[in-house]
Amino acid sequence: MRPFQLPRWSWLALPPALVIAGGGAWMLYRIDPSGTDSPFPPCAFRAVTGFYCVGCGGTRCAHALLHGDIATAWSMNPLLVILVALLPVAAAWWMGYRPRWLQPLMHLLQKPAFWLTLLPLFWIARNLPWSPFTSLAPV
């Protein structure tokens, strides 16, 4: 298997992408999305339907993660916390670091069927009104 490779010219997009991502992270670090004067929009799906979407609580989760508050982040969106924890491992895999012990996980994460199953199941589970599913809803 060849490691993930981008065309040579695509690396030109990396500096602006890092500046934009850094600016977004700085803004999210400085501004509490739970505040009344927050510039971050509320979830449109929740406003229309009254149900939580897969990403509900994601902005507040990212804010908590940037502040090192893993417990609060987990209470907002546990799936996002898990995915953020997997991000460095996945990045290393795509850059060519491929130990055998990581192969089963990475093969699973690369299958669209996995995501087409996980995301709807999480979406449904976090809207169920019974314990333990109520703990999946953002606080």
Q: In a structure prediction context, what are the per-residue pLDDT tens digits for the chain, which is 139 residues long?
A: 455 566 777 778 888 989 999 999 999 999 999 888 889 888 999 999 999 999 999 999 999 999 999 999 999 999 999 999 999 998 888 888 889 999 999 999 999 999 999 999 999 999 999 999 999 999 8
CB neighbours of residue 74 within 10 Å: 18
Q: Are 63 and 29 in contact (CB under 8 A)?
A: yes
Q: Can you tell me the distance from the alpha carbon of 4 to that of 13, in angstroms, rounded to the nearest whole number?
A: 16
Q: Are 16 and 113 in contact (CB under 8 A)?
A: no
Q: What's the DSSP call for residue 3?
A: P
